[in-house]
Structures are given as structure tokens and as C-alpha cells.
Homo-oligomer: A and B are copies of this chain.
Amino acid sequence: MIQTNSYARFFENNPLCRLMGIEVPIVQAGMVWCSGWRLAAAVSQAGGLGLIGAGSMDPPTLEHHIRSAREATQRPFGVNIPLLYKHAEAHLEVCLKEKVPILVTSAGNPLAFSEKIRAAGLLWGHVVSSVRFARKAVEAGCHFVVAEGFEAGGHNGREETTTLCLIPMVVDAVQVPVIAAGGISDGRSMAAAFALGAQAVQMGTRFAASTESSAHPAYKQAVVASGEGDTDLTLKRLTPVRMIKNAFYKKVLEAQARCASEEELRSLLGQGRSRRGIFEGDLEEGELEAGQVSARIREVIPAAEIVQRTLQEFFEVCTRLRLFT
């Protein structure tokens, strides 16, 4: 097995590695029901940046996960706070109290807590799906942005810009480092993101189906079993979300096809659908958030191995492209 740290020297001048104090520019996305302290610590320990996903935690649970991660690794890790959930402000308070060094916000207006985050001196990034939102994030004070394309799992932008189109536009538009997300699961896609100008990659679904992910084994197997066309970005009239096509998805599709009201869609969605699907493993009635890369994921492996395999392939691809220089 190739050691991660044998690659670290190649990234000595990588702006995100320097900014974050990490060895390799691979970020594990904060994901509901998947990314507790075990996954975040495993990725950070492997040289990347692990993110605890606050979205599916109440504030005391988040505190517990931050403390557990800190016990499990001495390397930097961060927290992802989706701003659309009710606990967002309380989550931020926990992060400030626990002196989490790196914060990634998503799914909301980064201006909302900008002053508080900046006053506390956190290293801060925001997830964006467009150049417009990237500019807003930088204006709000973000030190980096995560630019996420249409193919990504979970909540997603309305403009449907794919990672291939989005990354170069965001890179050209902002001065801060850009982390590419959406459609990235291995070294080939990481190299593609770097070719487009990204300085790091964020992988979600790939890590959701890792050994240390807190997702239910049945969910991980559903990701592994998914083929092309098995996810869809749906619920566009509420908040667009990419999920695996299952019985629940088909109900949503059927309701949308007959132009069901927004109220009916909300009632169908109900409460706790993602918990039911991802954490409890109800593959029929749960919401199985996942990206298009599900079709490319064939096995559940430890997070460190994901990092190592990705790096190995990344360098193989760079060596292949070197023939052109």
C-alpha cells in the first residue's frame, strides 16, 4: 500500500493545503447521517480534511462529535453547517466554543453569520453552485469556496451547471482557492478538477460509502449497487436534491407529473426522510441522497484507502498527461 505522506511533498505549495495545514488537497464533504467523527477523523488522519456534518445533529451531538474527532486525530478537521436547518446558529456557537479551526457553510446565505465567523477568526468556506454565489461568498468574507456541480448528491443549485462548466468559471471569477465538488470519486476526476483550475477536491458520495461512514450498511450497498441514471435531481419546486431512484422517489415523481401542489409535495416529503433512508437503511421509503458517481462506486472501503487510491491514480493521470509537455 502506498503511503499518503509519500505524496505530501507534491502539495507543499498547494494554497489550500497551506491554508488548512493539511497534507493532501482532498476534502471529505460534510454529509447528513454519514460524516460523524469517525469518518472525519479517518480522512484527516489520512492527510486530507475531514468534515463533521452538522446537518443531521442537534448541538450537543455536534459537540460530542467535535470532541471525539479531536481525541481521534491531532490533524486539522472541520465542521460543515448547512444554513437551511433550524440549528444552524446553535451549531455555529458550538464550533466557536470548541474552537473548530475550519468551517464550511452550505445551503443558505453566507452573510447570515459572516460577522460572527470572521470575528472568531475561523478559516471559512462556503459551498456554491454558481459564479454569482461564489462572488457573494467571497464578499461575505470566505477564505475559500467549494464549487459544486449538478452531478453532486444531496441539495443542489437550481441552475444545473455541471462541475465541468462551473469550475473554470468560478476559478476565473474569484481570487480565493476553489475546491471542486460534484462528480469526483477518484484520481481521474481529481485530475480533471485540477485541469479545470481547482486547487482541491471535495468528495461526498465516495466517502458516504466508506467503512467509517455512519450511514446504514444497506444505504452503502444501495450506493454500490447503483448504475448510471439511477440518481435524479428532483423536488426542484421545493429544494432541489439528488437522490437514488427508489419507491419514495417514484412517489415524488408521480406527484410532480400530475402537478401536485407544493403543500402535497411537502407533506409527501414529511420529516426525517433522509434519516430513514441513510441512517436507518429504509431503501424503499427513505430519501437516499447520493451523487451521480454512485454509478462509479463498486465497493465499500476504508476512508484512508479512498485517499490513497485517489492520490495514486491522480499521479498516474498527471504522468500520462506529462507526455504532452
Residues on A lying within 8 angstroms of B by beta carbon are: 10, 130-132, 149-151, 158-166, 168-169, 182-184, 186, 188-189, 191-197, 228-229, 232-233, 257-259, 292-293, 295-296, 314-315, 317-319, 321-325
Contact = CB atoms under 8 A, between A and B. Distances in A.
B159 A229 contact: yes
Contacts of A132: 228
Nearest to A189: B164
Given A10-B323, A259-B257, A324-B314, A229 B160 contact: yes
Q: Which 5 A-B pairs have the closest CB atoms?
A: A159-B229, A164-B183, A192-B192, A191-B195, A318-B324
Contact of A162 (B164, B186, B317): B164
B323 A321 contact: no
Given A149-B162, A195-B195, 11 more contacts: A130-B229, A132-B228, A150-B151, A150-B160, A161-B229, A163-B164, A164-B184, A165-B183, A165-B292, A188-B195, A195-B317
Contacts of A189: 164, 168, 196
Contacts of A168: 186, 188-189, 296
B165 A321 contact: no
The oligomer's copy count stands at 2
A296 B232 contact: no
Contacts of A293: 165
B151 A229 contact: no
Contacts of A158: 229
A166 B150 CA distance: 13
B295 A165 contact: yes
A304 B165 CA distance: 23
19 contacts: A10-B323, A130-B228, A150-B160, A151-B164, A151-B165, A160-B232, A160-B292, A161-B228, A162-B183, A163-B164, A165-B183, A165-B292, A166-B228, A168-B188, A169-B296, A192-B193, A194-B324, A257-B259, A318-B325
